[in-house]
């Protein structure tokens, strides 16, 4: 798949429960990550074979954006959060520099990578950084993933703060 033909309509939502490994099923948990449906190592990812996916991705000659966003998800699945965050950040930079893509496509690609990085940061127990990523993702492009993750995190933060504020009165 070429970066210039990246199809945003063909993304798979991966649900996850914060603090636990997630499975490739959008109905299993609250937060979602975006992954190219037919991207590199898609079969291994869908089968839950994340280490195999990492191996395939690292030896792949596919476009850099698809590779990095897929590595982000695979490393997150493997709880290798530093590697996941690095891959997400690289996907953000790569999307910005792509040639042959429209400005709105580049913004959407960056938004998806930012939303994925936000989920990774949330799993690293950094909700402030996650919130910043989700908000930046939404400012770039109003994707379903970013909108969903931002609203869910805001709801969880509000629920966590509400009892503290009530007790302080």
Tokens 């030896």 sit on residue: 59
Whether the predicted pLDDT of 1 surpasses 70: no
The 3-state DSSP class for residue 87 equals helix
Give the separation between CA 9 and CA 57, rounded to whole angstroms.
22
pLDDT tens per residue across span 105-152: 999 999 999 999 999 999 888 999 999 999 999 999 988 888 999 999
Write down the mean pLDDT value for the chain. Answer: 79
Max CA pair span of the chain? 59
CATH 3.40.50.720 fits 3-162, yes or no: no
Highest mean pLDDT among 9-13, 115-119, 158-162: 115-119
131 and 121 Cβ atoms separated by less than 8 Å? no
Model confidence at 164, in pLDDT bands (50, 70, 90)?
low
Q: So where are the chain's domains?
A: 3-162
Q: Hey, what are 43's tokens? A: 């079969």
pLDDT tens per residue across span 44-56: 988 889 999 999 9
């Amino acid at each position: 798949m070429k970066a210039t033909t990246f199809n945003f309509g063909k993304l798979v939502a991966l649900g996850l429960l914060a603090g636990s490994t997630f499975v490739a099923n959008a109905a299993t948990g609250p937060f979602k990550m975006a992954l190219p449906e037919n991207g590199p190592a898609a079969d291994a990812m869908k089968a839950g074979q994340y280490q195999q996916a990492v191996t395939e991705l690292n030896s792949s000659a596919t476009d850099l954006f698809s590779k990095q966003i897929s590595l982000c998800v695979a490393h997150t699945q493997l709880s290798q959060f530093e590697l996941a965050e690095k891959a997400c950040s690289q996907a953000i930079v790569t999307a910005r520099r792509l040639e042959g893509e429209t400005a709105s496509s580049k913004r959407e690609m960056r938004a998806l990578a930012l939303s994925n990085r936000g989920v990774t940061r949330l799993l690293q127990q950094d909700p402030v950084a996650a919130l910043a990523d989700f908000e930046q993702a939404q400012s770039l492009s109003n994707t379903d993933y970013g909108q969903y993750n931002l609203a869910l995190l805001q709801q969880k933060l509000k629920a966590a703060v509400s009892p503290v504020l009530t007790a302080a009165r």
